[in-house]
Each structure stands twice: as structure tokens, then as C-alpha cells.
Structure 1
């Protein structure tokens, strides 16, 4: 996200003082704390582990900073890359995607070991921790189709498991309103610019990260402790922000 968006606190508001900022953070933590009491069941249908030690999944759930940050802490995940999916290669850059007219969604490509974590477990993290699947074309302060909730299945098994899980959660009334997550055809995944990679890890004091994303890591640790790993897996070849 660029610094002209709501993810960067306006200079005037920062000048108001730490008291107001602290109050904002406290309110956000209270909102996340209230949701911690809500736990969703694991998928009844899942993909068997098999013998392969590497598979991939592509999810979209709002700003990729937080979604990437969450899945980098999931046990069995070996890499998470922020990028764009849903549109053409020619429009897969941040400024163009930000217009909301490319068909792309900010997405993450997750590489994982199916013998350690299943596709169904990744879906459980996606729906319960990484984002709110009931918000249509927005997540929190971010609005536009590029922030939509979507799953891009890479094969028929992933499509069947994801569709069954959405049906399971809706039937169980796991959320107060229906899930709006769509299963979309996978057209390709295009890696985002380097400055977006591992943004949460490199910028823990960024106002947007502190308010919207760091609580998600605590969510994962407390809600799904068996799936949590303390040390995040980082994208190779990306230097920390300075």
C-alpha cells in the first residue's frame, strides 16, 4: 500500500498526540478481542496429504500486508508471496491495480508442505483469522474490488474443498451474515513489488500494521495454537525496509 492511503496516518492526526493514537489502538484491540471468542470448525472435507511435500494456494482477503503476515506464521507454510490475481499480466502493478478496474485482487500465493498442514487448515486460517469473509469488496478501511474476498483454486480438489467449506460455515451460521467469498478462475499470480513483501515483519510500527494486522497474529496464536509458529517464513531476496 502506498503512503497516500488510509494505511498511513495523516501527519496532522499524528501531531494531535499519543493519547488519541493510543485510544485508537485500544479500541481496535477490543474489537479483535471480542472476535477471539468466536471459533469456526475445521472443514469436514479436506485434501489428503499424499506424498508431495510442496503445494500452493492463492487467496485474496483485503490488503495483502496482513494476509501475508498471518500465513507466514502458519506451521507447515514454507513461503508466502504478496501479489495480484484475477486480471491480466499487463495490469499487475500496484498503481494500476489500485484503480479497482483491472480485475485483480491483492492476493497471496502460499507454498506449503501438505504433510504438515492441509489445504483445509489453510482455509480455516483464512476464514477465521486472516480476514472477514462477510465484507463485500472491502476489508476494514480498504474499499474496492481489489480488496475482495476470493479464493483462486489451482485444481478441482481445492475447488471442491473450498466450496464445501463455505457451504458448511454458512449452514452452521458461523458468521452473523452470509459469507461473500467467491471462488474465481485462476488466471495467474503476479508477484507484487519488493517493497510490499514481508511488509508486516519489516514495519511493525507502521500505524496501519499496528491497528489492523498485528492483532491478527495474536488471533492465530490464541485461536489456532497448533497451527502457529513463532518465527515467520520470509520471502527470499527481499531486504528489510529502512
Structure 2
């Protein structure tokens, strides 16, 4: 059951997504949960996403992680001085959801998102989150932030996990072998796995797996992942 708000015995469905009937929208919520959860090191889902981010603190933490990629992007690309120079500052990560500090957190995040060049039409209003007036507006803003983060070189691609999951299914069927990959390779954390140290032969199952993942990620340099046989 979804978590209840505060001390009230009445479940507020505005904090979960069980009233959303459009399956395509729910898929986007799931993708957002995987993406944000990987970056923040949290287990996020349809039931706890809004509850977790409602005071705006986790949004400011998300901006802090993305800002690292933005800084690198600005250093290696010209004409990007208008991108944010820092993540939101002075955020209160432990404040209550009905406090002025929570509103300040959310406002700081949204100001940062605008500097990230998220279109104004995609920016949610503070009360969409603080007063639960529009959770899908919040989701749409975060999806736009994810796309802009990828444009700025962030390895945490919101579209990569489902694409790679499908790719592995096809490769397992083709080669009759079981493959796995670093589950958090697209966030800020990385699991310790057995590293493949041998040279991959052209045409081998391993080489095709690596090429497939490279094509999905489409990132410059060496991708941050490991593959291994189980």
C-alpha cells in the first residue's frame, strides 16, 4: 500500500499514480524512477516518488549530480556560458513539506532547470509539487531535465536501461547464453563486478554485446559499465 501522509488515516491518492490510466504515462513514470533512483541511490517507484521529492531537497541533490556533467560540458564546449554555473545553493534537505524552506528548495531547483535550458512550457509550478496540484507536471519537468542532462554529457541516460534490457534479451536468445550488466552503471554508483580483461574477438558474443551497448549509450570515450557472463 502507498505510504500515508503525516498522521492522517486518509490516503491521499495525489501522491501516488494509481489514478493515472494512461499506460504510456505510467511507463514514463517508471523510467523516471529508475533514472532518478540510480543517481540518488534511492529505491523509487510510483508509490513513493512524490513523497520522496516533495520537500524539494532530493531535487536539489539531483541538480548537484547533473551539475558535475554540466561543468565538464562547459569546459569542453564553447558558447555555453549561459548554462548554470552551480547547483542550487543553501538547500534544506530535512525540512518539512509545508515549510517555507521546502518552497525555497523547489524554487531554487526550478530556477536551475531554467538555466539548464529546460523550456518554460515544461516547468511545473511550485504548488504542483508542494500542494499536490499536478504530479504529472512534475514528472514532465523531470523528464525534460533528464533529456537536457544527456545533452550535457551525463552518462545517466533515462532511455538506456530499458533499451539495454531489451538488447540483452535479444542477445541471450541469439547466443543461448545468459548476460548481465552493472545495474547502477547509469547512475552515480557502480557495483563491483568481475571485469572482462581478455581481448574481445571480432564477431564473438561478448564483442557484439559491447558494441550493442556502445550504440545504445552513444557516449564519447569509454562507457562506464562492465559486462560478464553468469
TM-score normalized by structure 2? Answer: 0.28
Q: Which has the higher contact order (CA 8 A, sep 6+)?
A: 1
Higher helix share: 2
Higher strand share: 1
TM-score normalized by structure 1? Answer: 0.27
